[in-house]
Amino acid sequence: MHARVMKWFTIATLLVTVLFWRFARDFRLELDLVVCVAAGIVMAQAYRAKRYSWVAGFLTIALVFNPIVPLFRPAGDIGLSIVVFAMVPFVMSLVALRARPIMSIPSITDRNPGSRSL
């Protein structure tokens, strides 16, 4: 549940960044922080699901958007394309990394168990 909310929040943040790209330079630290934290959350979710290619992809996103030790600060069209391409894995992860529902254990005292005894 928390990972899904964080994915949607990150998608919205990246979409607003694309729409207001001229002003994105002023909020680069906040953008990097949101995307890096969300990438870490999704990376942990992918690790629990044993989807290691997704872990590698989101580790790359976390490194590119690292707010503490930035690797590089792309500007202009290259920076815009990186933001757009970072949005795609988050959208895809909404479908690919769905949490599986936990099935309840049937009660042995249920009067209508749904199956007949032999």
Q: pLDDT (tens digit, 9 = 90+) per residue, 20-32?
A: 888 888 888 888 8
Phi, psi of 45, deg, nearest 5: -65, -40
Inside any domain, residue 107: no
In-domain check, residue 35: yes
Report whether 33 contacts 67 (CB < 8 A): yes
Residue 113 lies in a domain: no
From residue 88, give the alpha-carbon distance in Å to each of 7, 60, 76, 81, 113: 11, 13, 19, 11, 45
Residue 8 scores a pLDDT above 80: yes
Q: What is the pLDDT of residues 80-107, one digit of tens each?
A: 888 889 899 999 888 887 766 666 666 5
pLDDT at 70 over 90: no
Residue 78 lies in a domain: yes
Q: Is residue 26 part of a domain?
A: yes
Q: How many domains does the chain have?
A: 1
Please indicate, yes or no, if residue 23 is contained in any of the structural domains: yes
Range of the domain at 75: 2-96
CA nearest to 40, candidates 22, 64, 17 = 64
Q: Is residue 116 part of a domain?
A: no
**8 closest CA partner among 80, 98, 87:** 87
Does any domain span residue 104?
A: no
Residue 113 pLDDT > 60: no
pTM, two decimals, is 0.76
